[in-house]
């Protein structure tokens, strides 16, 4: 089978096969997810006693983000195992999760921004802070968040595309345990591959 012509696609401009790409991306995702869960607990840029309402907003949303992070780690491990054992459903569910994660993250971020803007408005009841200042702040936040959502969506799609194509190749029978010697491809890790 090793001598036969490769039937599956090449990921990342011919760098590797989709299985290898999914495995590498899942490992990278796991590392960053664990760092993302650990890091917020190490850094706090404001005084809890001075802003107790802000502390409550942050705590509420930190819990949501922690839950999302844990589910993301579980789904990434499922995708990693699915890629290793050539399981269509395990890889496909990761694709579904990635899109759902993007949508839920956008909703949660919008809720948090809304609560933060409401908190800022309550804190600025003095005459120096006008309604136009609040509108300008909200407009700036919304512009920033829309740009953030677009960039996040593009990066999510780029991150997930190897999983989509691996799922398709597994489903079609192109990428299986038996055919992997034919499909295996890497620009740096496999000797004499096309």
pLDDT digits (tens, 9 = 90+) for 27-43: 999 999 988 888 765 55
Give the contacts of 27 (CB within 8 A, at least 6 positions apart): 80
Q: How far apart are CA 194 and CA 184, in angstroms?
A: 9
5: pLDDT strictly greater than 90: no
Q: What is the dihedral of CA 114, 115, 118, 119, to 10 degrees?
A: -140
> In what helix (H) or strand (E) does residue 91 lie, and over which residues does it extend?
helix 88-123
The pLDDT score that the predictor gives to residue 179 is 87
The pLDDT score that the predictor gives to residue 122 is 77
139: pLDDT strictly greater than 90: no
Average pLDDT, the chain: 83
* Angle, helix 88-123 to helix 131-172, in steps of 10 degrees: 180
Average pLDDT over residues 111-137: 76
Nearest to 84 by CA among 193, 165, 175: 175
pLDDT in tens, 64-110: 888 998 999 999 999 999 999 999 999 999 999 999 999 999 999 88
Rg (CA), the chain: 22
Give the contacts of 1 (CB within 8 A, at least 6 positions apart): 178, 179, 181, 182
Q: Which residue has the higher pLDDT, 16 or 134?
A: 16
Average pLDDT over residues 140-162: 92
For the whole model, what pTM was predicted? 0.81
Quick one: pLDDT band at residue 118, thresholds 50, 70, 90?
confident
Determine whether 108 is exposed, middle or buried from the number of CB atoms within 10 Å of its CB (0-12, 13-18, 19+): middle
pLDDT in tens, 157-193: 999 999 999 999 999 999 889 988 888 877 777 654 4
């Amino acid at each position: 089978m090793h001598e036969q012509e490769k039937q599956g696609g090449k990921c990342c401009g011919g760098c590797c096969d989709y299985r290898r790409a999914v495995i590498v991306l899942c490992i990278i995702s796991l590392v960053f997810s664990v760092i993302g869960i650990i890091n917020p607990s190490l850094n706090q840029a404001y005084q809890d006693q001075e802003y107790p309402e802000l502390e409550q907003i942050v705590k509420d949303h930190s819990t949501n983000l922690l839950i999302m992070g844990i589910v993301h780690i579980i789904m990434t491990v499922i995708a990693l195992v699915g890629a290793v054992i050539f399981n269509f459903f395990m890889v496909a569910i990761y694709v579904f999760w990635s899109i759902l994660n993007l949508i839920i993250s956008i909703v949660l971020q919008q809720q948090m921004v809304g609560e933060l803007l409401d908190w800022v408005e309550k804190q600025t009841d003095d005459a120096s802070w006008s309604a136009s200042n609040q509108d300008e702040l909200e407009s700036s936040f919304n512009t920033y968040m829309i740009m953030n959502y677009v960039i996040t969506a593009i990066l999510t799609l780029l991150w997930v595309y190897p999983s989509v194509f691996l799922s398709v190749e597994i489903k079609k029978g192109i990428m299986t345990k038996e055919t992997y010697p034919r499909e295996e491809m890497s620009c740096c890790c496999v000797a004499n591959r096309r």
